[in-house]
Structure 1
């Protein structure tokens, strides 16, 4: 039994020596494979060293150095980790979710559209025409004036009064008073 403890201690000493001898070079190599992500590269170094500890047969090869074996294992681990990340949905931080608008409620938007249509329909034809030109056809005041054949000042005043009437006709929509 004490023989097993001695082997483990020796294995730990050899592993520590392996890290001292190759850890920095392995980290630099893996840092390149992880596009500069130091935390991920450090995790891969540790996982590579765990694999070395789990496979003592690799220590008994004819090669003068363990470095090629470590780099091969590290590269394969990096590839596997990348594939795993790409295969699963991207993680989203809670803060990002809080800043994202709520999903569109189609029922609610349909009701809103009905309310807006009714409110616009309740306007007189002159006010309705101005809103259609300025807001629905995205024309400037001067373009709307030209299309409607009225002065720009009239377009501005009709727009003002039409919006005021809509605010009164659409209570609860946060349009102000």
Structure 2
């Protein structure tokens, strides 16, 4: 049966699945079904090839329906690869930064917010805070040093 209809079945299954390996599996399943139901092949209602191609189509449709009913599969990533989209490290880092910022004085925190979060220049930060540019620079220096110290403490514990 395969020698007579196998090429047509494989070509049709490949056209439906667009995947040669999947098409081979479909043809194998269709041939198993034909072997289990030999009476369906010789019922006189149509050609054997037509029946086999219908079985191929039905198997492919069943696979598509089954795939659509379950959630999409997640592919395996190499063991050394970082997980894409995993933002846990970013969350932890932001929690550490927020904690460190909360330990700073209001003056130091305001300077860092102006310069680093809002992207202001030293002159713009000085104008917004109503302090001299030199004070912005020194507060920024001491605030960053304090943040580094908090970071070192966190890493040590």
| TM-score calculated relative to the size of structure 1 | 0.63
Shift of residue 103, structure 1, vs aligned partner: 8.2
Unaligned runs of 5+ in 1: 1-17
Shift of residue 100, structure 1, vs aligned partner: 2.5
Superposed, 1:106-117 pairs within 5 Å as 113=95, 116-117=97-98
Q: 3-state DSSP class of the match of 1:99? A: coil
Shift of residue 32, structure 1, vs aligned partner: 2.3
Name the residue aligned to 1:26. 9
Shift of residue 159, structure 1, vs aligned partner: 3.7
1:84 lines up with 2:62 in the alignment: no
Shift of residue 71, structure 1, vs aligned partner: 1.2
1:39 lines up with 2:21 in the alignment: yes
Q: How many residues align?
A: 147
CA distance in 2, matches of 1:72, 1:171: 69
Unaligned runs of 5+ in 2: none
Name the residue aligned to 1:129. 110
| TM-score calculated relative to the size of structure 2 | 0.70
Shift of residue 129, structure 1, vs aligned partner: 1.4
- RMSD of the TM alignment (CA)? 3.5
Deviates further, 56-65 or 36-45: 56-65
Q: 3-state DSSP class of the match of 1:42? A: helix
Structure 1 pair 76/128, CA: closer, same or farther in 2 (3 Å)?
same
